[in-house]
Structure 1
């Protein structure tokens, strides 16, 4: 059986460069294929939009927010399992994220173990739930 976490593309959208680099490093260190973008606009204009198997995005981004990105993606025919991260505890944003199809929502700092588990579950098509 092929391990989806090793063959599927994980996309990170994070405008904070050190956080983006840390996410990319964590995923690569765990054998995952990853591409990172500084903005939702960059991701939406990329060819990776068609091949992404899982999306990790910050809720608050410069330009299009992570929540708006999920709304845009929900209008497409292809579903990309999405995991949101945020530094701000906001019940309304959490509710909107769940309604937009986020499978998990994490507060920063994110536990690497929990994030990796959520990614593997998303790639395996496991049940969606929120934190």
Structure 2
């Protein structure tokens, strides 16, 4: 009987924990939703002019904002990829090109030194 009561209490406490966790999660979602609404309202209320000096329509504002966000996202992705490459020590394409150029220069120097050595020997 005591084991059954302990199991019921554990089940009840874990259920309460998950409900509390879910409410925290829902609170976070609500906060993010409110922030999103505020940002959308701010974008809509701003008057933006196009290149002709006319006020942009709502859809045009959304398209413009989407392009700006896409550019920001691409920049952040590039930064994160570069950090990831450095972290896992994988050579980036620019680094590989620089190393290949350096090898070519060193090969040219070796060829010049061999030519000088051959000239001194002769």
TM-score by length of 1: 0.17
More helix by share: 2
* Larger RCO, structure (CA 8 Å, separation 6 or more): 1
User: Which structure has the greater CA radius of gyration?
Assistant: 2
TM-score by length of 2: 0.17
